[in-house]
Amino acid sequence: MKRSHPNFGDLSPTHKEKKRRRGRTEDKEAKSKKKECKRQRSSEKQQKPDECCREEKRKRQESDEGAAGPVNKQAQPPRPNPLSISSYNFYSKLGAGGFANVTLAKLGVKGSYVAVKSIKKTAQTTDDSLLTEANLLKIARDSPFLCQGYAAFQTQRHAFFVMEFLSGGSLEDELKDQGTLPIERVRFHSAEIICGLQFLHGKGIIHRDIKPMNILLDHQGHAKISDFGLAEENIFPGDTTTGWAGTLEYMAPEILHKGTYTAAVDWWSLGITICDMATGKLPFNNSGNTKELIHSIKYKEPKIPNGLDGYLKHLLYKLLKRKPKRRLGLRGDIRWHSFYQSINWVALEKKELQPPFQPRAVSTWLGNTN
């Protein structure tokens, strides 16, 4: 996808390349066949000119009849266009926030369920930010721990992103239902989030909005990072960026100080998310007073309950280091932390480990789809 072009297209990473390769192959084969036919016709004309002419006439007639096709054959209906909003049938709303809505949909009648994110264009939504999100959805198709993108397109007033439908809901939904999650779920989900973050950071991408709402679960219970609307590209080791981005309760202190920052902000947000999963509470002041919360994040130590597993407490303190360069994830390999000693990372990345729970039934999301 060319970032300079304001229009988005199908996000399939190999579609255009396959088409070009197929076109080159077909052109070569066609030219070769044409030369061979010409040589044969020339040879036949020299030997039997009358017979050759009759044979060519017969072939032309058969070709014309074949192109016309049987008179009684029914015309096939056109396939739905995945880059047109009118091609989708919409059902229940899956989520909303800011200027965006996410709705359950199908492409045509026989298509699979997808999630369509619609973003209303405003002064805050630039073409560049929309193209960034579309590009990241395309890149996400290379990792099983990121929400997959299928297509992206726009109208005059809205941009649309077509993504996979993850029927297990979000970690936020789970926390609302259960309050806290068992430690095995905390370990498993956070390990899969780590795989997703390490993939993004390896591509020079900072997510900047890691939180339970943006961690979705598939029908098996695997976690996937979603919502790349605030992501920043081209931030490799040694690079920094600036700007207020994220959700306040999960923001790293360096963002609140309005200075430069690195991918370490994602590891801080992961620490807050893990604490939320394990305790149902945030480790910094959450009285509802914004100024107090900002001051707490910037200057105070996190409040982590004493009753937590010792390895988990140690992990949280390492992730919530106020100095980014000392923060686990950016410094040292988080996979080697004792909290994850039971995780087989190779099997995890291949999706060979069984998730520790079964998500809710898909039907609870669908509502009335008649």
Binding region: 121
Rounded-to-integer distance, Cα 319 and Cα 274, Å: 10
**Is 209 noted as a catalytic residue in this protein?**
yes
- Residue whose C-alpha is closest to residue 251's, from 241, 261, 230, 265: 265
In which residue are the tokens 């020079």 written?
204
**For residues 43-61, b (16+ Cβ closer than 10 Å) or e, as one string?**
eeeeeeeeebeeeeeeeee
Rounded-to-integer distance, Cα 161 and Cα 176, Å: 27
- Residue whose C-alpha is closest to residue 204's, from 227, 178, 222, 231: 231
Q: Residues at the annotated binding site for ATP?
A: 121
Report the SS3 class of residue 11: coil
Task: Kindly report the backbone phi and psi dihedral angles of residue 227, in degrees, each rounded to the nearest multiple of 5, phi listed first.
Answer: 60, 90
Task: Identify the active-site residue in 64, 142, 209, 239.
Answer: 209
Rounded-to-integer distance, Cα 229 and Cα 207, Å: 8
Report the SS3 class of residue 219: coil
Q: For residue 203, give the amino acid letter.
A: K
The first and second tokens of residue 334, run together, are 């988080």
- Residue whose C-alpha is closest to residue 217's, from 273, 152, 283, 172: 172
Over its C-alpha atoms, the chain yields an Rg (Å, rounded) of 28
Report the SS3 class of residue 242: coil
Q: Which residues are catalytic?
A: 209
